[in-house]
Structure 1
């Protein structure tokens, strides 16, 4: 059984990762990593409530398939696909793949880091049922 792990959410934490509680549907923002309890379960501080176990929520992420759709971050509306091209002057294929090899590994890392800061699902969590698609919540 696939499960959400700290390695899946840690890269998003500096960027105000929103999460949705599995049982209530309530949305909050991860504020900190609180503890690892006696059973080695990660506990997360969401908003300013008591800490919760990692399995109690799903991160809210944008699917990579929406990379060509305009998004709004901090009041600024832009097209992430075009922004990536302008920021890194790299070619992104029509199917949203960036070819990474030893010659351009730094550019690949920068692209992934930028996608994470915009809350795109770079780990395939939505398809595995471990994350909520942000566009589904905006309906």
Structure 2
């Protein structure tokens, strides 16, 4: 099997060597040896790093992501948790879409002032309620 040194893995993954060392330190990835002072990795580590990046983009913590890999690094993805995360993203997308549409309306609203715009007033009420829920 061909081994990749830390610089090559860094280039292929887009992650700095310091992140690779950190991921190794916390058990997300494993090096298989060293060539001089440079860590060496099996080629599947690049795929594993892509899955880690995808998990981070989906909002999973590094601890959550670590639990998604077997000891040998093969993915063991929790399908039910992935469905829940996808549902949460759908809700966030719907909320952000409503916010975007409201902001576009307010930007183009023909009312003399923003405070005269009913949609802007509803947006302000929504923001006040949302802020109150986060403060609890």
Give me the TM-score of the superposition, normalised by structure 1. Answer: 0.23
Which structure shows the higher helix fraction?
Answer: 2
Which structure shows the higher strand fraction?
Answer: 1
Give me the TM-score of the superposition, normalised by structure 2. Answer: 0.23
Structure with max Cα Rg: 2
